Amino acid sequence: MSGPTRDPKGATISFCFDGKTYKARAGDTLAAALLANGVGLVGRSFKYHRPRGIMTAGIEEPNALVTVGDGGRAEPNTRATDVFVYDGLIARSQNRWPNLSFDVGAVFSLAAPMLGAGFYYKTFFGSAKRWMFYEYFIRKAAGLGNAPTKADPDRFSQRAAFCDVLIVGAGPAGLQAALEQAEAGKRVILVEQDSILGASLIRDPQELDTAWAEGAAARIRAAGGRILTRTTASGYWEHDLVTLTQRLAEPGEVPSSGVAQRLWHVRAGQVILATGSIERPIAFAHNDRPGVMLSQAARTYVRRFGVLPGKRVVIATNNDDAYKTAQALQDAGAEIVAILDARPQFSVAAAGAESAGLPVWTNAIPSSVSGARHCLTGVTAIVDGQTKSWKADLIAVSGGFTPVVHLHMQAGGTLDWNDAAQAFVPAASRQNVTTIGGAANPDPVFPVTPVSNPKKSFIDFQNDVSLADVDLAWAEGYRSVEHLKRYTTLGMATDQGKLSNMAALGRLAEKQGVSIPEAGLTTFRPPYTPVSMGLIAGAGAKNAGAHVRRLALYDVHAAKNPIWQPLGYWFRPRAYPQGQETLAQAALREAQEVRTGVGMTDVSTLAKFEVSGPDAATFLELICATTVGKLAVGRGRYTFMLREDGIAFDDGTVWRLDENRYLLTSSTGGADRMATHISYVRQYLCPQLKVSAVNVQEHYAGIAVAGPKAKPVMDALIKADAPRHMSTVPAEIAGVPVIVLAASYSGERAFEVYVEASHAASVWAACEAEVTAQDGCLYGLEAMEFLRIEKGHLVVGGEVDGRMTPMDLALDKMLNKAGGYIGATGLSRPALAEPGRRQLVGLEAISGDIPEGAMLITHKGASPEGHVSAAAFRILEGGSVALGQLKDGFSRHGEELIASSPTRGQEARVRVVHPHFYDTAGERYRD
Amino acid sequence: MTDVTMTLLPAAPLHVFEIWSNPAAVAKRFKAATGFELPATGTSGGSEALRLIRFEPTVWLVEGDISALGDVLADDGALTAIGGGTVRIRLSGAGWRTLLMEGGVFNAEDPAFSAGCSAATIIDHVNVRLHVVSEDVCDAYVPLSFSADLLHFWKEAALSLFEGVAS
């Protein structure tokens, strides 16, 4: 590998590779910069730790995989050919120890004959216990690069876009298409994964050059087109939806705006794929060494980056394109020591090269190369059946061209075999997609049959898969290309078969004695090039996927420094500790205050629906399984709702606010589901009803005041006699109109105050002042849970878990005897009344504390007959109680069971009891 | 820097105006009472004093003075207050369309989505109603519980929006 060949004064950017600082030019890829600094050894192969250099100049690079960046920003398995150097870039080689030059793992190379395809399957078998032993070593050896252990400090964004025409690839064909479409008045998006436009024009400026590309881009923009660089079309989905991954910062770089990458969801009227083709390598012994490079890549390094990757160069080809490389290298000062053309006859290009003095050999195929860890020293070939050798530090190879057809295939398209090009090309499309340029019309090539030792002739460089591995898989009976892929690991990881697929297919077809298209093709799935996981998560990567829903009174609570609890998407105060109180201490104090005095809490998250119209009662009697129609104005009732199959799915209260106006409340956790259910019933089941059902969950903030002193508190607040239990009145608190409902979840005399959320703060303040005056306190979700469990009230998601009927929950006496509600028919199924169903029970601890979630068993080793759905401590008396579901539970009161939680290592002896531990007669509701 | 400004509009009465029967008669009464037609789907109508935005086939969001609407509806529909749970965020400046594409699925960049148009969509998992006031102003109606986080999302997005988009 040659050293720098360009003026070092131009290199002003500092970067670091494996701890050593180098200089680069603006616009250099890391690969170009390393070559310019004479660095030939860049990585170690995955399996055998063979020394590897830089083979390509694009996203198809299989060898030069490095980790770029530090800390949480580190990006492993970055292709050195696909990262542009910035000041301060830090890159590290991978898969080596202690260093790249001296890698202990290279010992695996000595054992290569034993480590062929299927090695794992043939070696690591036996009992599970033995596998546990193997696993330790396999995990130590497996993997490529290390994922960062720190959180990524950067953000990832996602956005939508719509266009008439999306053009993928800004080479000459893509630019020309984009220009025509934009100037025809179409909304155009043109994407290019490189940092500059032009693609092959950068490497081969002829009639069109980079100046033409810049001019075309300016015209596209002037016509309203959008051009995205450093952007890759990563997936093609249904209805011409294409995802684009856009880099706003290079790997490891601190993004100027905080956003490292953006995922575009582009819905296009038409898609034009100008994705070009990827040059194929040629199989020969040790073709993975540093100093073996694709022909077009060598040309790119010379013409785009001004880097000469070798001084004594052998060209190996089966087509005319490589002669351009010979010319470019010679022009840059390299000596072309041989051009090995696999074709038996001189082509026009070959004849031209020979007449220009270049040493062209036809019917010549490389068989092996030699060299050291860092460089190449010689090339051997079979020429007309004779072995010939040359001293060389670079071999530039071209085995033909593979069109980039992955997006066409992901769109559901089919492929045709192009025999002249020895490649698959796009055929029929199922979506509105067209392929143009090199991807549709690859150059013709001559088929090459390898003449080398198959054990050392690699076809998948990234996964160390050789021709011998394909031969072995065939010998062992793997006939399908899909099986071959999985057995040999061919085409996996970042490579995805870009360089390897056609070589493997060729070998498989040769073994099968069929043509390549008859041998089959593996499936193309997105993404074809790697996509960061954080980009798929988008902004949600930082907050577990979704926004937190904040209470209208969030700031009021936050000022009191509560312990917060996520509840669905909501954040609610779990307890308000005083001094050094723990959560349990605070919750117990708060619950005791409700039992003996008065407490208040925020119940704004409850689902709330305002139902109005002359058919409101009829509508509610469909939604609710209890009677509603006979409710008097100013009265309310507990209710529950069933699915169409008769299973309970939510509960709440219904209040008649006016002649034709009701307020329906239901659970927080089921609020969205209930909104969907109500909408479904309204729009599909009974669109004829004269009713409006509006979701007012967020319109009203809710404040619950509970305890023996709640009545005097409410009397003072509304300056009138507070309503009796299950009654409602409109009132004013602090000058703000409110609805006061007398309802209790705690088991005490209690009220719920509903106020328009934008005025909630002043009403809360008034309530808090009055509660404080009565020596009361705020209480959170934990105390509320203690209170409701002791009272035996249900919670959706706990006792109401999608399996229980009203009979199982002992609610059947409340069912509307006239029927007609949703679920009535489903509820009549005989199976729902058969013995053996789980039923709601109370559980009282005989010894130990009852673990929540524990299974209920009759004796150790027995099968579970139920489980504990919620557990708490008796608030005033002490002791552990719980609610649970138990097989035939109603008839088992008094039975002793074990509540066992093996995952927590906890156990308690319990007695089955009635599920109401407190005020079973409901006397505390009454004044 | 971006060319979009986000302003929290003061809390204001918002109502759901729903028709369940005799839509033609209601529309006639509405026109007579207000002087303008009930807006068609995806559009809004009215003035700063009373604006209706049609969100569903039989449902409009009403912003402003509703005193005449009870008689307009009579027994053919209902008016329900929802203003307490909705935060109005005004997006001003030429960049509001680009901002709304962040985390979105709706084509806010479509020039046809112009003054007087409305839409209901999802932005970064949040259900949002949009109303284009003018070429440089779009009002977003956001659920109160999500408003702080969505505003934060928009502010962060605005800081990065035009980075790397060579257009």
- What's the pLDDT tens digit per position in B70-80? 999 999 999 99
Q: Which of A766, A645, A626, A790 is nearest to A705 (CA)?
A: A766
**DSSP string covering A600-649:** EEE-TTSEEEEEESTTHHHHHHHHBSS--TTPPTTBEEEEEEE-TTS-EE
Q: Do B103 and A157 touch (CB under 8 A)?
A: yes
Q: Is the pLDDT of residue B25 over 80?
A: yes
- Ranges A10-14, A294-298, A694-698: which has the least confidence: A10-14
For residue A142, the model assigns a pLDDT of 77
ipTM: 0.95
For residue A401, what pLDDT band results from cuts at 50, 70 and 90? very high
Over pLDDT 70: what percentage of chain A?
99
More confident residue, B102 or A3: B102
| pLDDT for residue A543 | 63
Percent of chain A with pLDDT over 90: 86
Q: CA nearest A467: which of A481, A457, A452?
A: A457
Q: How far apart are the first and last CA of chain A?
A: 95
Cβ(A907)–Cβ(A901) under 8 Å?
yes
Which chain A residues have a beta carbon less than 8 Å from that of B80?
A: 610, 612, 692, 694, 696
Least confident stretch, A480-494, A670-684, A883-897:
A480-494
pLDDT at A118 over 90: no
Instruction: Tell me the average pLDDT of chain A.
Output: 94
- Nearest-angstrom CA–CA distance, A805 and A839: 9
Q: Indicate the pTM of the whole model.
A: 0.90
pLDDT exceeds cutoff 50 at B15: yes
> pLDDT class for A927, splitting at 50, 70, 90?
confident
Chains A and B form CB pairs within 8 A to the count of 142
User: What are the pLDDT digits (tens) for A306-353?
Assistant: 999 999 999 999 999 999 999 999 999 999 999 999 999 999 999 999
Asked if A236 and A411 count as a contact pair (C-beta separation under 8 A), the reply is yes
**Considering chain B, what percentage of its residues have pLDDT values greater than 70?**
95
Q: What is the pLDDT of residue A1?
A: 36
Q: What is the mean pLDDT of residues A805-832?
A: 96
Q: What is the pLDDT confidence band of residue A4, given thresholds at 50, 70 and 90? A: very low
Task: Tell whether the model's pLDDT for residue A523 goes beyond 90.
Answer: no
Helix (H, G, I), strand (E, B) or coil at B167: coil
The residues that bridge with B20 in the sheet, in sequence order, are none
Residue with tokens 């059946």: A385
Q: How many Å apart are CA A258 and CA B160, to the nearest integer?
A: 7
Residue B120 sits at the chain A interface (C-beta within 8 Å) = no
Q: Which of B20, B103, B125 sits opposite A691 (nearest CB)?
A: B20
Of A158, A228, A757, which is closest to B85 when you measure between CB atoms? A757
**pLDDT at residue number A365:** 97
Q: Does A551 touch chain B (CB under 8 A)?
A: yes
Q: Confidence band (pLDDT; 50, 70, 90) for B167? A: very low
Q: Do A759 and B84 touch (CB under 8 A)?
A: yes
Q: How close A883 comes to chain B (CA, Å)?
A: 32
| Residue where the block lists tokens 């006792």 | A799
Model confidence at B1, pLDDT cuts 50, 70, 90, reads very low
pLDDT confidence of residue A569 = 87
pLDDT at B162: 55
CB contact under 8 A, A549 and B145: yes
* CA A194 – CA A179 distance, rounded (Å): 19
Q: Residue A521 has what pLDDT? A: 87
Q: Answer for the pair A583, A563: CB distance below 8 angstroms, yes or no.
A: yes
Q: Read off the pLDDT of residues A743-780 as tens digits, 9 standing for 90 and up.
A: 999 999 999 999 999 999 999 999 999 999 999 999 99
Helices and strands counted in chain A (H then E): 24, 47
